[in-house]
Structure 1
Amino acid sequence: MKRVLFLALCFSLTASIAAAATIKIGLMCPLTGSWASEGQDMKQIVELLADEVNAKGGLLGNKVQIITEDDAGDPRTAALAAQRLSTRGIVAVIGTYGSSITEASQNIYDEEEIIQIANGSTAIRLSEKGLNYFFRSCPRDDEQGKVAVKTLMSMGFKKVAILHDNTTYAKGLADEAKALLKNETAEIVFYEALTAGERDYSAILTKMKASAPDAVLFTGYYPEAGLLLRQKMEMGWNVPFIGGDATNNPDLVKIAGKEAAKGFFFLSPPVPQDLDTPEASSFLAAYTKKYNEVPGSVWAVLSGDGFNAIAAAIKATGSTDSKVLANYLHKELKDMPGLTGKLSFNEKGDRVGDLYRLYKVDADGHFVLQP
């Protein structure tokens, strides 16, 4: 019995030492739900980067462990996921994708003094709350709104319809574009919201068509955008559609079909294949070698930028203390060579610099960067 107790004690001590020698980083992403393709890519990217760090000796001599929670693209699920991650001894958390999902979790992390680096949450108000531990590797909607209006005006559209889905992100972008368009020569002839998750948008398409717009700015997400494109083709309406950055996902073409998606414009940071930094090239080669495909969208790649930023902060400071790391990210991380370009954060935790580009879907369903 003494021998058994001795062995059990040894095992317990060994496990405790091993746990202490592990730096835990959380990942909150939508592994299920309508945004699951984004979440799956996020998980693969962050795990790949963690494996690369561990192969080089880890951080501060310790192995990095990724602890993942599924937020299902749902605010209530996200709040529960954040609460669970907060009890796991994580240094920081990467994610998540949707702005309303991030908003449901960011106060939880901030109260627990856990750094959060969101990757696809562009809503302006997320960084206007004075939360010291909130950061994002993606740009904000006010930057996107400026590019959206500039694009609409450069294409010569005089009557514009704006359609959103009432989520934090989509309504925020819609409101920003609406406010900016009031200072331009274009007229807003339609401004309404659809209900995300429905299967038939013929009613709102018919109502929008009656307002006779020259173009439609849709600020929602790719599942609804795909359905709108398919259903407007079925009703014989050929009005140009321009999407916000949440439509940047190859599943849009799968949902709409190539014929309906052809000619669709959207604003976005560069898609993975158009990233031209040495860091991006090396990353894409490693990702393709491991998973036999490229990442589906840039939003998942931005989660990799978040992971690299927190890893750089830990290395530079020699610390895992959240206050030390947050101070470094706010004030000392300058122009870090990221997967999507140089990475810095301002005092609000926002990424510094303009990333937005204009894309068009071609006849083969490819996303083509516009000059």
Structure 2
Amino acid sequence: MRILLVILLWVSQSLWAGSQVNVAVVGPRSGPVTEYGDMQFTGARYSADDINQSSAYSVHLNLISFDDACDPQQAIDVAKKIVQQKIQYVIGHLCSSATQVAAPIYEKNNILMITPASTSPTITQQGYRFVFRTIGLDSKQGPLAAEYIMHHKPKNLAIIHDRQQYGKGVAEAVKATLMQNKFPIKLMLEIEVGRMSFDQEVEILKKQGIDFIYYGGYYPELAHILRQSKRQGLSIQAMGPEAIASQDIMPLSSQAADGLLVTLPPAFSTWPAAKKIVERLHKERLDEGSPFIYTSYAAVQVLAKAISESKSLVPADIANTLRQKSFDTLIGSLSFNDEGDLNQFKFEVFRMDADGKMSKVFSL
């Protein structure tokens, strides 16, 4: 009987053509940043569809969606559900604060996770075996923003963040680079997530003569700050990370975000490999410029490729394969270092116009 159990266990963890693999996709289906979750779920869905229709892969992926609302406590609850359901692979989470608390749960239970959107460096600094990402780090994104700021030399710069892991982390990365280069920072401010009135902060910005804001956080709060600044006659150039690049920021800010500067991944929608994806997005009337669509597509791709390459369904084998090989994906050839981060990933600076159009204005 014992030999039979061992054989059955080996068979269940072995890969054969058409193996059915359940994959959890976790992100915000509710809450203030649902838009970014929609990007993630769309990219994962497109990728799984293409993989399941291709003879180049040894697996058939069954995606199972979970909503964490980008909330850490809900992320913990979702991670526990995934453990209970014995799902061995996760695409997500999206927000760094959610990923941070879910990652140790997955690690403890030998569940392989690939986040397509969490950029906080601390996530992969814990020595995890099963945590990966298909996006770059704030430790790269922040210095790029700082380089742009130093190049354009605003008179009075303020750095504002929302105290959350993602927003504070990228703002601190900008601050560190500016301080290293002795570039003056006129003002540092922290705000609370969920607030809609920032009249007091706007008064401070006016008194300090602030003409440039770097904002670390998500778009709703920045939209309110810019709208209220405009109402009080204060003209400010704003800049921030990818989480402010929402089409909703223009109407929410009453167009005060016109000219917004954003650090983003390259415009993957213009790459030849993305042509079919863009056509499908047009048919579904979805925004082709959404970066998390493409990084999520690539996350599912590398998972399927690593499973096929390793000829195993054991997460440890797949994690080893991810660290040992490179993988051709929709967003280029990807390879991972020992920490689970990409060996190379580039951010660029884009300007968003009032109609939501993005144009690249700076890169290194």
Equivalence map 1:33-182=2 (5 Å)? 33-56=31-54, 59-60=57-58, 62-182=59-179
For these two proteins, the number of residue pairs brought into alignment is 345
Match of 1:320 in 2: 313
1:345 aligns with 2:336: yes
1:331 aligns with 2:328: no
TM-fit CA distance, 1:369: 1.8
After superposition, give the CA deviation of every residue in 1:22-43 in whole Å (9 maximum; x if it has no partner). Answer: 2111100100001111112222
1:283 aligns with 2:277: yes
TM-fit CA distance, 1:342: 2.7
RMSD: 1.9
SS at 1:180 equivalent:
helix
SS at 2:333 equivalent:
strand
User: Which segment is superposed worse, 280-289 or 94-103?
Assistant: 280-289
TM-fit CA distance, 1:104: 1.6
Match of 1:10 in 2: none
Amino acid at match of 2:174: A
Which residues of structure 1 form unaligned runs of 5+?
1-19
Amino acid at match of 2:29: L
Q: Return the match for 2:264 from 247, 265, 268.
A: 268
Q: Return the match for 2:25 from 24, 27, 47.
A: 27
TM-fit CA distance, 1:248: 1.8
Distance 1:362 1:370 in 2: 12
Amino acid at match of 2:103: Q
Match of 1:358 in 2: 349
TM-fit CA distance, 1:153: 0.5
Is 1:120–1:138's contact at 8 Å kept on the other side of the alignment?
Answer: yes
SS at 2:160 equivalent:
strand
The share of aligned pairs that are identical, in percent, is: 27
Distance 1:249 1:58 in 2: 35
TM-fit CA distance, 1:71: 0.4
Is 2:337–2:343's contact at 8 Å kept on the other side of the alignment?
Answer: yes
TM-fit CA distance, 1:318: 1.4
Ranked by relative contact order (alpha carbons within 8 Å, sequence separation 6 or more), the top structure is 2
Distance 1:113 1:200 in 2: 44
Amino acid at match of 2:60: K
TM-score, length-scaled by structure 2: 0.89
Match of 2:4 in 1: none
Is 2:110–2:315's contact at 8 Å kept on the other side of the alignment?
Answer: yes
Which residues of structure 2 form unaligned runs of 5+?
1-17
Is 2:106–2:113's contact at 8 Å kept on the other side of the alignment?
Answer: yes
After superposition, give the CA deviation of every residue in 1:281-307 in whole Å (9 maximum; x if it has no partner). Answer: 232223333x23234620232111111
Distance 1:256 1:342 in 2: 38
